[in-house]
Each structure stands twice: as C-alpha cells, then as structure tokens.
Copies of this chain bind each other. A is one copy, B any other.
Amino acid sequence: MPWTGIQADGRRDCEVYGADGEAGRQLTYRDAIREALDQALGMDPRVFLIGEGIDDPGGVFGSTLGLAEKYGSLRVMDMPLAENGLTGVAAGAAMTGMRPVLIHMRVDFLPMAMDQIVNHVAKWRYMTGGKVSVPLTIRAITGRGWGSAAQHSQSLHALFAHIPGLTVVMPASPRDAKGLLMGCIASGEPSLVIEHRWLYDLKEVVPEEPFLVPPGVGLIRREGTDVTLVGVSHAVYDLLLAAEQLATEGISAEVLDLRSVRPLDEALIISSVRKTGRMVVMDTGWKRCGISAEVAAVVSESAHDALRAPFRRICIAECPAPASAVLEDAYYPGCADVVACVKGLL
C-alpha cells in the first residue's frame, strides 16, 4: 500500500502559526492542498478526484489547477450538478477499490448529499460488520463575505461532527491543509475536509515530501497560562491575534487548534483547561449544538473542578448570513470580540 511508511506528523506542541522563522519551502494553503492531491494521485492509482468544474481555468480556487492536464479527465473528473447522486457514485467506487476525493466549492452544497453522507457513507462499515469500508474523502470550502449570503457561506461542520462513522477535519494552516488531507485519504475512513476560503492565500513552511497529520489530534498553537482559547479553521487566526494583543496587556492566553471536530482531541482540551482554569471557544459556525457546545460538555464532564470562570462561546450570529456588508461585519466575530470576552473573565 502506497500510504504505509509515510511520515506521520505527530506534533501536538507549540508551534508558531505561519512562522517565517522556520526554514524551508513556503506554500500557500491553496498550493498545499494542490500538492497533497498531486502526490496522492501520483502515488496511489486508486485515488481520483471528482467535482463540479474541477478542471476549469479556476480550478476550485486554484486548488486543482493543472491536475486534469497531468492525470487526465478520468482521474480528475468534472461532474454533473447532482451532489447526492455523485456522492453515492463516489461511495460506490470507494467500496469497490477506489479512493475518491469528491470536491465541493461550498460547504452549502453538502446538505444536498446528506442522505448519502449520513445514511450510507457514515454507516456502511458498521452495517456490514466491518466488511466493507468507504475510503471516500470529501473536500468542501466555507465561503465568507462579499454578500455570499445565506446559501453560500455556511460552515456546517457541526452537522457532520454529530454523526458516528465520519471523520471531520478543518485545517487552519497550509501545513495542516496538506497533512490532514493526506491523512484523511490515507486513513481509509470516510472523511470530510472543511476548508476556509479566507485561508487560501496564507503561507507557511510545508514539507515537500508526503506526510500525514492523523485526524483526531489537536495542536497547541500558542502556550499560555491564564485562559485557554479554543478554535478551528479561520477562528484560530482570530484567536492568535487576540492572544498577541492580550499578551501586550499582560494576559497569557493558550491557543488550541482542534484541527479535527470528529474525532475530538478531548485530552488536549482537558489538559489545557486544567492548566489555565478558563476557557473561551470560537467557532466559524453557529452556537447551538455546535462544536463550541461540545467543548463545553467535555470540560463540564471531565474538568468541571478546574474551570474557575464561566465558559464562553464566540460564534457567528444566530441567523442565516446576511448579504449587506454592514450586516456581515456584525455577523462575524473577530479578534476584538475575543479580547473583550477574555477581559470579562479575568
């Protein structure tokens, strides 16, 4: 199997986000994804990509550019607008020897495929008593801004994090974008990779050789002692900015990047809150029954005694995304909200 023997990136410790200090080749988040796909296609003949407009001049915001030319239109395949059916097709291919990567330009199109994802893909291995697995990876991108509005900027990871049988990862950095995507493809588990459009231009040192970040392992992005800030995806970026600002005021914030929302790195959350005694979670999605609620429950179950202040959640407003720019500004929380929230806890 081509995936065995690939280096697993076991780091869970502190690492500066987007550090320029580190030596090595830098890549954007977009190019890190493309490199992961390129290497997966090159290394494993079972891998193929399928998605609407995947081979067009835009190349899924650049993340698939050149791959159709390199691997041909059967391995990098355009598809009809039929998200549920094509998820079934990809799942059927996955059950019979292939390792498809199905790509959506927006997370908002996943609800169309919910039947196949929730009722079939997630359950197939269990229903067959472990005899048939579904090594299908689905990429979907969360949009934001410029009036993308209610149907083009959702971040629905909580819906999938609720479902046993699925893996759901949300890379916040280029290195993780590559490592988690390859980690999902290699895992043989049905996986959802939720990317964020606003991270696509971000640069970081990314190893050139293939490597795997195992789903389920979070990361301490910054160490601190007074409060734990937990986030995923683009929220990690806001949290790091806030931590920096808080540092100038003498407040030491620890920033955790969950990286996976299913499986969830409970141990990391618990050990951090045991250290700091305070916790704020920021999410790119809604609050109710979201990942921020789950983190609250984990802490309340396993580190109740350690929490010295009320738990806080910073999420998008509890409504569909509005189109108007002034409303968008109010819709998305940012660094300032985090800073204010932390100060309120101390």
Which residues of A line the B interface, CB within 8 A?
84, 108, 111-112, 114-115, 117-119, 122-123, 126-127, 149-151, 156, 158-159, 161-165, 261-262, 264, 285-294, 296-297, 299-302, 304-305, 307, 309-313, 318-320, 322
Q: CA of A42 to CA of B111 in the docked complex: distance in angstroms? A: 35
CB atoms of A297 and B319 under 8 A apart: no
Which 3 pairs from chain A and chain B are nearest by CB?
Answer: A296-B297, A300-B311, A114-B114
- Identical copies in the complex: 2
Pair A127/B115 contact, Cβ less than 8 Å? no
Verify B300–A310 contact, CB threshold 8 A. yes
**B309 with A304: CB separation less than 8 A:** yes
A164 adjacent to B320 (CB under 8 Å): yes
A163: contacting residue among B286, B296, B297, B312, CB under 8 A:
B286
Across the interface, name the chain B residue whose C-beta is closest to A127: B150
With contacts A293-B294, A304-B307, A322-B126 taken as known, whether A112 is within 8 angstroms of B111 at the C-beta atoms is: no
A305–B311 CA distance with the chains assembled, in angstroms? 11
A159-B162, A289-B290 known; A115+B118 contact, CB < 8 A: no
Q: Bound state CA distance, A291 and B293, in angstroms?
A: 9
Expressed in whole angstroms, the Cα–Cα distance for A296 and B161 within the complex equals 17
User: A261: nearest residue on chain B (CB-CB)?
Assistant: B289
List of B residues within 8 angstroms of A262 by Cβ = 288
A126-B322, A304-B309 given; 20 more Cβ-contact pairs under 8 Å:
A108-B119, A111-B114, A111-B118, A111-B119, A114-B114, A123-B320, A126-B150, A127-B149, A159-B159, A161-B288, A164-B288, A165-B319, A261-B289, A264-B288, A287-B297, A289-B290, A292-B297, A297-B313, A304-B311, A305-B310
Q: What are 10 A-B contacts with C-beta separation under 8 Å?
A: A122-B320, A126-B150, A162-B285, A162-B288, A289-B289, A289-B294, A299-B300, A300-B310, A304-B310, A304-B311
Output the nearest chain B residue to A308 by Cβ-Cβ distance.
B304
Chain B residue at smallest Cβ distance from A300:
B311
Q: Are A290 and B162 in contact (CB under 8 A)?
A: yes
